Amino acid sequence: MEERRQMPLIGDRFPEMKVETTLGTLNLPGDYKGKWFLLFSHPGDFTPVCTTEFYSFQKNYDKFRELNTELIGLSVDQVHSHLKWTEWIEDNMGEKIEFPIIADPMGDVAGRLGLIHSANTSATVRAVFIVDPEGIIRAILYYPSELGRNVDEFLRMMRGFRKSGEEKVAIPANWPENELIGDGVIIPPAGSEAAIKDRRERKERGEIECYDWWFCYKKA
């Protein structure tokens, strides 16, 4: 009977693996210890939607690096296909792809990460894994093949992870342009009567704002 692998989940450690890329061999997640990395799979080289995505990721690469975040691409294409495709992007669109792209022609990496759809075993799905500096998976996102990803959203997520980690807060919808609290951030829920009392006192002192004791926030 064929062994079924369970894809890793949010909160799991990213599986240790050695991968071949356009920039040489990498050991994941070890080679990125101390950095965040965003690994994104694409259905195939020389496809229009994927080309627009890679162009956008490269255009924003410096912004990711400012957030201590590296990019890693992945598909089941061979490394020479990746190299020819990135050469085409540079020659025709003026952007040199500087981040590595994993070549996974046997589907070993994609299989371990759950990136091969049962209905199409010849291509990787459009997915994203965000991994923190300790190698822990913090977010997993999947997209249909016809819908290109929004790179601004990944930058927003990285800024949100940083804000949340530094200030021990939660991030509201559409932050930093939330319809209720603007660029404010949410204080974690109170877990005791003493915490509820403390919140009410802090609100009276003008340190925080609240809709109720269970929904308190502070401005940026």
| Predicted local confidence at residue 173, as pLDDT | 98
Of 151, 184, 206, the residue at which a domain comes to its end is: 151
CA atoms 117, 121, 127, 131: torsion sign: positive
Kindly state the average pLDDT of the residues 13-27: 98
Same-domain status, 62 and 119 = yes
At residue 212, the pLDDT reads 94
Whether 50 and 112 map to the same domain: the answer is yes
Domain co-membership, 110 together with 197: no
Cα separation, 57 vs 37, in Å, equals 13
210 is catalytic: no
Sheet of 209-212: strands edge to edge? 185-186, 215-218, 209-212
Check pLDDT > 50 for residue 4.
Answer: no
pLDDT tens for 179-200 read 999 999 999 988 999 999 999 9
Q: What is the pLDDT of residue 158?
A: 98
- Looking up residue 67, the CATH number of its domain turns out to be 3.40.30.10
In the chain the first and final C-alpha atoms are separated, in Å, by 55
Its domain, for residue 201, covers 168-220
Whole-model pTM?
A: 0.92
- Could you please report the per-residue DSSP string of 91-135? HHHS----S-EEE-TT-HHHHHHT-EETTEEEEE-EEEEEE-TTS
Catalytic residue chosen out of the listed positions 50, 102, 125, 208 = 50
Q: How many domains does one find in the chain?
A: 2
**Residue 103 included in any domain:** yes
Rounded percentage of the chain residues whose pLDDT exceeds 90 = 88
87-136 pLDDT per residue, tens: 999 999 999 999 999 999 999 999 999 998 666 556 788 999 999 999 99
What's the whole-number mean pLDDT along residues 12-17? 97
